[in-house]
Structure 1
Amino acid sequence: MATSRDDKKLTFRKYEEGDSKWDRWNDAIFEGDHSHKCPTYVHRTPPCQGSCPSGEDIRGWLDIVRGLETPPEGISMQEYAFRRSTDANPFPGVMGRVCPAPCQDGCNRNDVEDFVGINAVEQYIGDEAFKGGFKFEETPALTGKKVAIIGGGPAGMAAAYQLRRRGIASTIIDDHAELGGMMRYGIPNYRIPRAELDREIGRILEMGDVEFKANTRVGRDVSVEDLEKEYDAILWALGCKVGRPLPLEGWDETPNCVSAVDFLEEFNKGDMKYTANKVICVGGGDTSIDVVSVSRRIGTLKDYNENPEDAVTGKIKHGDIDPSLRKACDNVTLTALFPRDQMTAAEHEVNDAVREGVVLMNEVMPVEIIRNSDGRATALKLVDCKWENNGPVKVEGGKEYVVETDLIVAAIGQGGDMAGLEDFANERNLMDADKFYQVPNKPGHFVAGDIVRPHLLTTAIGQASIAAESIDLYLKHAEFKKRPKVDKHHFNLLDKMKEAGLDPAPYTVGETRGTNEAKFAIHNFEDRSKNEVITSDKLFLGHFEYTPRHLREEDAPDSEHVLNHFEERTKGFDDETAAAEAGRCMSCGMCFECDNCVIYCPQDAVYRVKKDEHTIGRYVATDYAKCVGCHICADVCPTGYIDMALGE
């Protein structure tokens, strides 16, 4: 049992107030047999996975990277981690860079000192797959069914991937020239390297029987009725590409008031190479950070004489620009309704933007667009605000601000473009979905991604996985069963045992009332992962020493060097650092082979299984003839893998 040498840096109390001596376990040892309870090994879902909208087996691939779970013969650690990661999410390189990582917020290690750098290890897995040229495992034979997927963003691509793994072909129809959706057209290249994005998309196409129809809009170039005749099912993964306007008088009539979606798309297509001299973006989320960071990088021209909105709307397209002709924008401002520590943008993204020279105004709300005689915005008036009754309100007696600007960008949310698809639109101009991601009252139609509810890339990927499963059941005319309470891509001990050559024997004995020795069953194990997320109060936190997080290096320029700076911002881990950071994982809900239960069992009842019978989750067993039910093994289990059960 380890104890930290740096207790002051821990975020939990090892002792109750007033404790001054160790508790004695004598009574537990000598009286414990009265309970008739003995240890059983219980698999639960860790909170990182429980917090991950795409449901990745995060603990599993961290265990692989750290060296705890060994790959099958002939597969490297890196490729095995890639396979485990991509069971849920085919974009580890992308998501490891840009996902805001709700998994890290949920990480139980926050109750020790700091979360595990899950994103950083995921980026490592994606980068190693890119360098190693890894491909997905061989796909099953086709079923003869084919699905139309409308939209080639993260939801559409993830659905095509999951469908092909089930033997179902698909055609992705998108109104852009290239696949990727918001990953390509919404996020700048210094956050997602385009070579890695292309490789992760290419892997899906390389599976075969995933076609792509570019520059095609359903409802304009092809009808829904034609798709229904040609395909066995349709998945709507349209995304949300219409930016919400600021709720200010005259917004729609003011030419230099534009949406963040349009701004970023023109930049990412390579058609906007510079912008206005003074830019103000209203937002507070990651999209608004991208707008202001792009503005600082592309700057403006020393001899700038065009209307900035013309590049945003595609009216004009910029050719190649000599970088020496650019200059930094005089002012780039980001406003947010909330305090800095409550902004929805990732904290490090906000910090980087400020370092790059962005002026950040918090707890302010726009109230008026100030225009000149030509009807163009020249400034934005803002006031101090606070959040009340689910909305911002002006602070009485607060300050008023007037920020001069040449371009106002709204980054306050996005909506769907349902033109030509009005029969599918709800009152919010999105699409309805049931719990199986079927479109209500539209048999054979399914939906996933932002068009259901604008959220994270990882949310779209998770919805696509469930939708693909639902489509498979629909095409088989199978019953739709209740979804699990914890609806994730769970580790399966039986699959792991089969992979390790430890398959249980066939069940041939007929009726039996129970056994603790027969080889046809997995003994002393309960899988509660589909019903329960394990919390830190079930762990023995005293086992874990203070271990600071390993941080990724970042190429984050300051305000003097940000102009023309398009190098990738985030630098990935090497093998050693990735393993060290993965090693900080507390393996919540799964044995990580620390030997505490073996060492501390006073009856020598808990023992390691034979090496040729060992695999992850099957490291220890109990001799119930020796066990007295003292529960010490459960008390000292760091991961909460042992419950006292099998008795009254």
Structure 2
Amino acid sequence: MMSETITVTLNGKTLEAKPGLTIRDLAKSQGVTIPTFCHDDRLKPFASCFLCVVQVANARTLLPACSTRIAPGMVIETDSETVTHSRKVALDLLLSDHAGDCIAPCEATCPANIDIQGYIAHIANGNFAAAVRLIKERNPLPVVCGRICPHPCESQCRRGLVDEAVAINPLKRFAADYELSNGPFVPTPGAETGKRVAIVGGGPAGLSAAYYLRLMGHAVEIFEALPHLGGMARYGIPRFRLPWDRMDREIQVILDLGVTVHHHQRLGRDFTIADLKARGFGAVLLAIGAHKAKPMRVENEDVPGVMGGVDFLRKVVLGETVEVGNRVAVLGGGDTAMDCARVARRLGASVTLLYRRSQAEMPALPMEQEETHEEGVEIRYLTAPSKVLVRDGRAYALEVITMELGEPDESGRRRPVPMVDSEEVLEFDLIIPAIGQDPDMDCVAGDPAKPETTRWRTFVYDEKTMVTSQEGV
């Protein structure tokens, strides 16, 4: 039968202790504090920080007190000169500047894999220009992204385990704004390679590609269908969220690298991919974006009085007249739906936002949802369209049906299921579906160099090289 106690010596004091205790537990029971970073009483010992090491007689090395259990006759020293020196070395290593040695969860979650730890360290040291230069190694549009990025990085910030996440995106925005206001840094292009690249589309993707291609020394020309560069950032984001003056100044930094721009040039109307190849471009980058609103797939959705969300936002940005009337319905639960609802409110309409799932499944950022609600938009959850009602050739109402949530679908959200006999008719002057966007592939329909496409209306491409079925595209 195992003895109820064993004899051990702690810092010269002989003790009787229960078998199975760790050295840390024993020391704690005697009022002896052993420092640790990685230990938590709720978790199994991890022994990774090595701040809790102690000296045990006849042991070949120092032992971690958090995971080493006491044994009969064990002689333990917790504050010898050797122990103190070892803990100091361990602490120095933990506190040393090792940004970049490890990939933090925030950086791993960032779509651009920006060195978040690095640029926040620069900001903390007051070196804002260095912070922006580090950001631009992965993202040349920090002013834009600092205002509209959904910042998934913050959801993975380890500081959130203590209180709340570090304000990663606002810090990026601050540094980028500061640098822009104090003379933006324009990098030196690489040595000219003699190679020419045509970029179709002057949105964030096309502009980013132009920036990095110029740094490599390639000649770059952008072909843009609309009057201004910026793509969806300009024509799909309201100005109250993304001021044009800031965006234009950031874009100008990219153009100052020596990028040529051709406005009002639409692929499929003014030129083809085959034309670009014939002009001597060694490569063609397709950055056409997703500017075509997804259909609702309900009866009569193509009549006047129904306008896609991205079409609505684009018309407003371009200054075209949009008759919103008194009552507007916006369908969807994403950030585009929120933008449409808030713009319609600013145009004087009473707005109802219809979403087929519950608030818990709504993909829009919580801040966007809150601001939309504060601006007076009515939000109806578990409501989906079933038919557009037409009078005199124009939509005047929407037949909707109440939904209930079933099992989760492939996105992980619970699938909405229609409830029997729950139809309802709601009258509106304008109906705006904002349920997603697709690329407009009509631009390559008759192109002799048309790349192969998928049934989802996207290009087929090699995941490693990004090259389509057409060489050089």
- TM-score of Structure 1 vs Structure 2, range by shorter chain: 0.7 to 0.9
**Structure 1 residue aligned with 2:4:** none
Matches for 1:396-407 after TM superposition, within 5 Å:
396=419, 399-407=422-430
* 1:432–1:51 distance in 2 versus 1, CA, 3 Å: same
Structure 1 distance, partners of 2:421, 2:397, is 23
Instruction: Determine which of 327, 334, 351 is the counterpart of 1:278.
Output: 327
Query: Which consecutive aligned stretches of 4+ in structure 1 deviate over 6 angstroms post-superposition?
Result: 34-42
1:431 pairs with one of 459, 462, 466: 459
CA distance in 1, matches of 2:157, 2:60: 33
1:108 aligned partner: 158
Q: Which residue of 2 aligns with 1:50?
A: 108
Q: Which of 167, 183, 186 lines up with 1:117 in the alignment?
A: 167
Unaligned residue ranges in structure 1 (runs of 5+)? 1-11, 68-75, 300-328, 446-648
Letter of the 2:222 partner, please give it: I
Number of the residue aligned with 1:348: 367
Report Cα offsets for 1:165-200 as digits up to 9, x if no partner.
Answer: 111111001111111000110001110011000001
- Secondary structure in 2 aligned to 1:366? strand
For the residue of structure 1 that corresponds to 2:61, the secondary structure is: helix
What percent identity do the matched residue pairs reach?
A: 32
Counterparts in 2 of 1:513-552, with a 5 A limit? none
Task: Tell me the distance in 1 between the aligned counterparts of 2:40 and 2:53.
Answer: 21
Q: 2:297 matched to 1:269? A: no
Alignment length, in residue pairs? Answer: 391
Aligned to 1:409: 432
Query: What RMSD in Å do the two structures reach over aligned CA positions?
Result: 2.8
Cα displacement (A) at 1:397: 5.8
Q: Are the equivalent residues in 2 in contact too, given 1:337–1:386 (CA < 8 A)?
A: no
Judged with a 3 Å threshold, the aligned counterparts in structure 2 of structure 1 residues 184 and 399 are, in CA distance, closer, same or farther, namely: same
User: Which of 264, 278, 302 is 1:215 aligned to?
Assistant: 264
Structure 1 CA distance for aligned equivalents of residues 170 and 431 of structure 2: 34
Tell me which residue corresponds to 2:384.
365
TM-score (norm 1): 0.57
C-alpha distance in 2 between matches for 1:82 and 1:344 = 29
Distance 1:279 1:28 in 2: 74
Q: Distance in 2 between matches of 1:83 and 1:398?
A: 59
Tell me the SS of whatever aligns to 1:419: helix
- Secondary structure at the aligned position of 2:441 is classed as coil
CA offset at residue 270 of structure 1?
2.0
Tell me which of 353, 368, 386 is aligned to 1:334: 353
- What amino acid does structure 1 have at the position aligned with 2:390? R
Q: Aligned partner of 1:143: which letter?
A: T
Contact 2:105 2:153 in 1 (8 A): yes
Q: 2: CA distance between counterparts of 1:121 and 1:113? A: 18
Structure showing greater Rg: 2
Q: How many Å separate the matches in 2 of 1:24 and 1:207?
A: 51
Check conservation: 2:298, 2:387, Cα contact below 8 A: yes
Write the distance in 2 (CA, Å) between the matches of 1:48 and 1:363: 33
Q: Distance in 2 between matches of 1:204 and 1:25?
A: 52
CA displacement, residues 404-460 of structure 1 (integer Å, 9 cap, x when unaligned): 211111111111112241332322221122223523432211xxxxxxxxxxxxxxx
Read off the aligned partner of 2:369 and give its amino acid letter.
V
- Assess, with a 3 A threshold, how the Cα gap between structure 1 residues 362 and 60 changes in structure 2: closer, same or farther: same
Deviation at 1:278, TM superposition (A): 0.6
Aligned equivalents of 1:435 and 1:201: distance in 2?
A: 28
Q: Which residue of 1 aligns with 2:149?
A: 99
Structure with more relative contact order (C-alpha pairs < 8 Å, separation 6 or more): 1
| Cα separation, 2, equivalents of 1:115 and 1:227 | 47
User: Does the Cα contact within 8 Å between 2:144 and 2:242 map onto a contact in 1?
Assistant: yes
Residue 304 of structure 2 contacts residue 393 of structure 2 at CA under 8 Å; is this kept in 1?
A: no
Normalised to the residue count of structure 2, the TM-score between the two structures is 0.77
Matches within 5 A, 1:459-478: none
| Matched AA of 2:146 | G
1:175 maps to 2:225: yes
In the alignment, residue 33 of structure 1 is paired with which amino acid? Answer: T
Q: Give the AA of the match of 2:219.
A: A
Amino acid at match of 2:282: D
1:377 CA displacement: 3.1
Residue equivalent to 1:188: 238
Quickly say closer, same or farther: Cα 1:155–1:24, change in 2 above 3 A. closer
Query: C-alpha separation between the residues in 2 aligned to 1:348 and 1:216?
Result: 37
3-state SS of the aligned residue for 1:248?
A: coil
Q: Which position in structure 1 is the counterpart of 2:120?
A: 62
Does the CA-based 8 Å contact 2:143-2:247 persist in structure 1? yes
Shift of 1:120: 0.7
> What are structure 2's unaligned runs of at least 5 residues?
1-37, 65-85
2: CA distance, partners of 1:207 / 1:87? 15
Please say if residues 83 and 136 of structure 1, whose CA atoms lie closer than 8 Å, have aligned partners that are also in contact.
no
Q: Using the alignment, how far apart are the partners of 1:272 and 1:242 within structure 2?
A: 20
Q: Deviations over 1:223-248 (max 9, x none)?
A: 22221132011111010111011111
SS in structure 1 at match of 2:261: strand
Distance in 2 of aligned mates of 1:128 and 1:144: 35
Q: Specify the alignment match of 1:133 in structure 2.
A: 183
Of residues 61, 79, 94, the one that matches 1:33 is 61
Q: Find out whether 1:78 has 2:142 as its counterpart.
A: no
Contact kept in structure 2, 1:366 and 1:383, CA below 8 Å? no
Q: Aligned in 2, Cα 1:32/1:160: closer, same or farther, shift over 3 Å? A: farther
User: C-alpha displacement at 1:403, in angstroms?
Assistant: 2.3
